Chains A and B, each alone.
Chain A
Amino acid sequence: MTLLFVDSSTWTITLLGWAIVFCALLFLVGIFLTVPKILKWVTNRKIKVVENGQEVVKDINDISGETNAVIATALHLFLNEQHDDESNVITIKQVWKRYSPWSSKLYGMTNYGFPHNVSKQNRYARK
């Protein structure tokens, strides 16, 4: 059978195909609306606080993103400061280098005019 230039099997594939895509994603939506609830229930079961001799379930899942950001920033700052406080001692080690003509300033490559100028300078310095 032809309907609007297209045979019935094409219409079947079109409508059924789109419906299946919808169903697959709707199914995922359903699951991912349920999963957080299950996780919340499991977490709440574990976290029980005793207040006035009675077990009270504290709901810790409804913390907003902003609160989380504030806690994370505070923790980050605290841990960083703690690290700074720990290392307040400044240690300066004396570096001992053995003399070598390779590291000598006197024989350095940038010391143009050596030894003539040096000897002259030394001569003037003595005066």
Chain B
Amino acid sequence: MRKFVTVYSVLALLFCLQIVFGTDVMAAVTESTGGLSAADGLTELWNFTGFANLHGSYSNLIMIAVGLFFIFLAVKYDYEPLLLIPIGTGILLGNIPFSEGYKIGIYEQGSVLNYLYFGVEQGIYPPLIFLGIGAMTDFSSLISNPKLMILGAAAQIGIFATFLGASAIGFTPQEAGAIGIIGGADGPTAIFLSSKLAPHLMGAIAIAAYSYMALVPVIQPPIMRLIIPKKERAIKMKPPRAVSKTEKIMFPLIALLLTTFISPSALPLLGMLFFGNLLKESGVTERLADTARNSLINIVTILLGVTVGASTQANVFLTTDSLKIFGLGALSFVVATAGGLLFARFLNVFVNKDNKINPLIGAAGVSAVPDSARVVQMEGLKTDPNNHLLMHAMAPNVSGVIGSAVAAGIMLSFLMK
């Protein structure tokens, strides 16, 4: 124990010396002692430590603080803990300073993290996540009232508006396309598209997408209250009709064929989404559906979260581009939410009095399953404690997932070189 304390006291002293006198003093100490083996050993050890590899730059420490903040948000406020804890820990892992060339870092060929990152780089994890989402999602609210699917399309304006905005401030079309998908409020889709179009921006895009998804309960309610008058927020909708098993089985098959024929580039995402749903609804593959929605999605979420977090090494992440991406991401969420809400109000113009829809559910079109639907439910209850909108909001919510995947496919078709 005493030896342990001594060694760390010496290291701490050396670190303080470096801070006070600068890095040159270390070389001077070694030279003045005439190359003593103990000092050499300590210097060698020092050079391998994270303290020495900070190189006087504290950007890594800033990122570590960000990682800790994510973990704090998840633990204290329960904001998307399943995502923020792996991502926050990944940020810590990715920002420990190290000597390059020893297969440690995520961007070093052959390192363990690099192997795990392969699934992100090549877009393997997002379709697997979609498989689990498909096996979890109940599309019956969508099937019972298909008109609400249009709200999911309306909210995708966030993607295209952000694409325009990113192009206007100087990003290349590929980068702008990858940034735009943040407006889809769908983490796996954002990672999938950015891995194809702008791999160098993937860390910033994924972090922005997941952060804003976690902040949906903070971002959306003020926009809802601003755009929708109280009278319309209190509209009660008809309960959804019962959906037969045949319809539930037909939905993934028809939707798979139709959407992938329109946008084949989204095949990995939509294919897996509807495949997962078919596993669930067919009723004869319960074991596979169970694996997809539990074990598989949990494993992939862990790997995806940690590696995306670790990809935010300070030297590639802390740039002005990242700041711009964060700004555009916030804007895209606002535009997408407003787009969904306004379109819901617009739809009400053409609907008869008995079938009016509560425009609040338009906000759920941004995807972010199931958070945005939950926010709609909460806002509905605030206006009228007897008005339960969750089931109705799930329809635009899941159609938002389909819409954002189709939009990603379209972006890929237009922008993939």
Contact = CB atoms under 8 A, between A and B. Distances in A.
B152 interface: yes
Contacts of B240: 65
Interface in B388-417: 399, 402-403, 406-407, 410-411, 414-415
A114 B407 CA distance: 83
Residue of A6, A24, A26, A27 with most chain B CB atoms under a 10 A cut-off: A24
B409 to A, nearest CB: 9
A10 B167 contact: yes
A29 interface: yes
B239 A65 contact: yes
Contacts of B246: 39
Contact of B254 (A4, A22, A31, A64): A31
A29 to B, nearest CB: 5
Max chain B C-beta neighbours (<10 A), residue from A14, A25, A63, A65 = A25
Interface stretch (B50-58, B258-266, B281-289, B353-361): B258-266
A18 B149 CA distance: 14
Contacts, number: 109
Interface string A3-16: 01111011101111
B326 interface: no
Given A14-B164, A21-B403, A28 B146 contact: yes
B150 interface: yes
Contacts of A68: 242
B150 A22 contact: yes
Nearest to B254: A31
A13 B414 contact: yes
B156 interface: yes
A42 to B, nearest CB: 9
A64 B242 CA distance: 7
A10 B161 CA distance: 11
Contacts of A11: 164
Contacts of B323: none
A117 to B, nearest CB: 53
B78 interface: no
A70 interface: no
Contact of B247 (A4, A6, A36): A36
Interface string B241-252: 110101100110
B242 A20 contact: no
Interface in B117-162: 142-143, 146-147, 149-150, 152-154, 156-157, 159-161
Interface in A22-60: 22-29, 31-33, 35-36, 39
Contacts of B411: 13, 17
A25 B177 CA distance: 21
B176 interface: yes
Contacts of B142: 32
The main secondary structure of chain B at its interface with chain A is: helix
B29 interface: no
Contacts of A20: 262-263, 406, 410
Given A14-B163, A39-B244, A24 B251 contact: no
Contacts of A64: 239, 241-242
Given A24-B262, A24-B406, A18 B157 contact: yes
A21 B167 CA distance: 20
A92 to B, nearest CB: 39
B277 to A, nearest CB: 14
A66 B240 CA distance: 11
A25 B365 CA distance: 12
Interface string B222-259: 00000000000000000111101011001100110011
Contacts of B407: 17-18, 21
A119 B244 CA distance: 76
Contact of B258 (A17, A21, A31, A65): A31
Interface string B63-83: 000000000000000000000
Interface core residue of A21, A26, A63 (most chain B CB under 10 Å)? A21
Given A17-B407, A33-B147, A68-B242, 13 more contacts: A14-B164, A20-B406, A21-B156, A21-B403, A21-B406, A22-B153, A24-B262, A24-B263, A25-B153, A26-B153, A32-B146, A64-B242, A65-B242
Q: When A and B form their complex, which 5 residue pairs have the shortest distance between CB atoms, in order from nearest?
A: A32-B146, A25-B153, A5-B168, A14-B160, A29-B146
25 contacts: A4-B168, A7-B167, A10-B173, A13-B160, A13-B414, A14-B163, A18-B160, A20-B406, A21-B156, A21-B406, A21-B410, A22-B153, A24-B153, A25-B152, A25-B399, A27-B258, A28-B146, A28-B254, A28-B259, A32-B251, A33-B147, A39-B244, A64-B239, A64-B241, A65-B240
Interface of A: 4-7, 9-11, 13-18, 20-29, 31-33, 35-36, 39, 63-66, 68
Interface of B: 142-143, 146-147, 149-150, 152-154, 156-157, 159-161, 163-164, 167-168, 173, 176-177, 239-242, 244, 246-247, 250-251, 254-255, 258-259, 262-263, 399, 402-403, 406-407, 410-411, 414-415
